[in-house]
Structure 1
Amino acid sequence: MKSIIVTADDLGLDPSINRGILEAYKNGLVTCSALLMNAPSTDEGIAIAKDNPGLEVGIHLSIVEGFSLRNIHSTITSKTAYFENGICLRRDWHDFLKCYLKGNINFKELEEEFELQIGKFKSHFNTIPFLNSTQHLHLLPGIWKIVLKLCKRHEINYVRLPKMTFPDRLWLNKRMFYLLPFSILGSYCRFSLRNTQIQTTDFMVGMQFSGSVTVDRLKFILSNLRTGTSEIMLHPGYHSDYLVKQLPTSYNNFLWEDELKAATSLDTKFYIESNKINLLKFSDVNTTEV
């Protein structure tokens, strides 16, 4: 039996992204969406989630690319107010990782930031069914320790963890060596989930073509699914000049509209139905091996 959970990341980031995610849910394959609590269009994202209870919404923990809810300059913030005039987290993963590797990130500040984001989410929703993060930075040692503690504290049952499997055609592309560290870190994180109530899906796919999942690439992903439950990460939306300008490192080459087409394609819907692939939410999955 093969099952998929199709998650749209970045709900709340921008009106153009919110609109695409809503369309991908109503007319496509998206069953879940990861909501940012510190983005320019978070309030609209919250409203979309409340107006569409069939869309399962979890938290997209913001480590970079958003306002700092602590609202004070610190080791986790940028000197540049790239979103309006607020105090912002570090602008991209390059900047964050450089500071992280130098030991210049204060983990206490980061934990306080995470607590504020989680608290804001819980002020609007009863539960947090799943968690992932911007640029998958929650996998980094030290940060993962904080995330694991917070998942236990706030009863977050699912967390996104990549897993590279061999032989697997999905990983054989030009991004393989870039993604290898994520897979290694993901395997370590999976091991640390043993003897906890926190789960992850058997497989996580979509990173191989992040920001450029076309109809053909999604069909390729579906045709190479393994037995078990796989989370497919997508970024459906409409092009945003604002995001490209403000966050060029992250979004300069993103093809949101291609991913929206993939999520709403009749071809992909037909492939799923004809191959009897189950389309699930996180809350539909009872047990998952880590």
Structure 2
Amino acid sequence: MPLNSNIIANADDFGLNASVNKAILFCFEKEYINSATLLTNTPGFEEAVQIIEDNSCIINVGVHVNLADCRPLTNVPARLLNADGTWSLEQTNNIFARFSRQEQKALLQEIHAQINNALQHGVPVSHIDSHYHLHTLPSLNGLFLQAARHYQLKLRLAQTYREGSYLKYWYRKYINQKLIDNGLNYTHKFETVALFLANVQARPAGEKVEVMLHPTFDAAGDLTDHFDKPTMQNWINYIRQLQNV
């Protein structure tokens, strides 16, 4: 039994490496997920593209824009990079970051290049999000909005639970409303698996929700979530309950 159409279970990090690629294909085959976002500047990208081409069960593929690690596809100002030419997460994942016009132009070109890399490899891109949720940061959110409008793609919402900070909560509400006002959102909410499962019984009928997973196989060959191990098992248990109904 496939997931209900109002639930988007998205596997982030497609293309990260061979283990993640194998796990994401497995999850599509088992109908644990119905969406994935593809990293296009990572070692496993070419393999992921071939997997997409060879397997019709893989649907709803987006681009997981990566300004966090590995090397950029374009010439990016050195200030945004580590000494080895990889992205400096310290510079890009900074809520107080201020980028010059030149840096903003370079970052937008890189976002475009990563989307173009998927399109040029024949991937039918349906949406975009970002590695480490960098698209929600004040210094980068506007660039992602521009890219989404340019390519006529949908963009992932920010999570809106409080996390102990009302300021963060209201900021995320604000940027989500900008997405909605521009017609760029593809769900009503974006949640972790834990938050989704905690509220599954009380969810309004027809509310469209995206949940995030990071499938991989561990050293023992078991399917897991490479950010939070219990997440994958909790999700599989939920899907199996649906399949047994």
- Common topology (TM > 0.5): yes
How far off is 1:191 after superposition?
2.1
> Mapping of 1:111-190 within 5 angstroms?
111-125=108-122, 127-156=124-153, 158-164=154-160, 171=161, 176-177=163-164, 181=168, 183-190=169-176
| 1:13 equivalent among 16, 30, 39 | 16
Q: 1:2–1:226: 8 Å Cα contact kept in structure 2? A: no
Distance change >3 Å, CA 184–CA 48, structure 1 → 2? farther
Distance change >3 Å, CA 179–CA 24, structure 1 → 2? farther
**TM-score, normalisation: structure 1:** 0.69
**Structure 1 partner of 2:71:** 67
The DSSP-based 3-state class of the residue aligned with 2:80 is coil
- Distance in 2 (alpha carbons) for counterparts of 1:2 and 1:125: 25
Deviations 1:20-71 (A, max 9, x none): 1111111142001110000111111111112223322100011102221115
- Distance in 1 (alpha carbons) for counterparts of 2:209 and 2:182: 20
**Is 2:210 the partner of 1:231?**
yes
Distance change >3 Å, CA 121–CA 96, structure 1 → 2? same
Deviations 1:209-264 (A, max 9, x none): 5xxxxxxx875454454431110111111237xxxxxxxxxxxx8345x444444x
- Distance in 1 (alpha carbons) for counterparts of 2:240 and 2:49: 31
**Structure 1 partner of 2:46:** 43
Q: 1:161 is aligned with what amino acid?
A: L
| 2:86 equivalent among 85, 88, 107 | 88
Distance change >3 Å, CA 259–CA 70, structure 1 → 2? same
The DSSP-based 3-state class of the residue aligned with 1:142 is helix
Q: 1:115 is aligned with what amino acid?
A: H
**Structure 1 partner of 2:241:** 271
- Distance in 2 (alpha carbons) for counterparts of 1:130 and 1:144: 15
How far off is 1:148 after superposition?
0.9
Distance change >3 Å, CA 261–CA 119, structure 1 → 2? same
**Is 2:187 the partner of 1:201?**
yes
Q: Which runs of 4+ in 1 moved over 6 A?
A: none
Instruction: Report sequence identity in percent.
Output: 21
Computed over aligned residues only, the root mean square deviation of the Cα atoms, in angstroms, reads: 3.0
Aligned residues: 232
- Distance in 2 (alpha carbons) for counterparts of 1:232 and 1:60: 15
How far off is 1:190 after superposition?
2.3
- Distance in 2 (alpha carbons) for counterparts of 1:178 and 1:238: 34
- Distance in 2 (alpha carbons) for counterparts of 1:48 and 1:57: 12
How far off is 1:274 after superposition?
6.6
**Structure 2 partner of 1:77:** 81
- Distance in 2 (alpha carbons) for counterparts of 1:155 and 1:126: 15
Structure 2: gaps of 5 or more residues: 220-225
Q: 1:6–1:32: 8 Å Cα contact kept in structure 2? A: yes
The DSSP-based 3-state class of the residue aligned with 2:79 is coil
Distance change >3 Å, CA 29–CA 70, structure 1 → 2? same
Q: 1:198 is aligned with what amino acid?
A: L
- Distance in 2 (alpha carbons) for counterparts of 1:162 and 1:125: 28
| 1:34 equivalent among 30, 33, 37 | 37
Q: 2:136–2:158: 8 Å Cα contact kept in structure 1? A: no
Query: Which protein, 1 or 2, shows the higher relative CO under an 8 Å CA cutoff with sep ≥ 6?
Result: 1
How far off is 1:78 after superposition?
1.6
The DSSP-based 3-state class of the residue aligned with 2:164 is helix
Structure 1: gaps of 5 or more residues: 82-86, 165-170, 210-216, 241-252, 276-290
Q: 1:7–1:234: 8 Å Cα contact kept in structure 2? A: yes
Q: 1:8 is aligned with what amino acid?
A: A
- Distance in 2 (alpha carbons) for counterparts of 1:14 and 1:226: 37
- Distance in 1 (alpha carbons) for counterparts of 2:202 and 2:71: 38
The DSSP-based 3-state class of the residue aligned with 2:13 is strand
The DSSP-based 3-state class of the residue aligned with 1:8 is strand
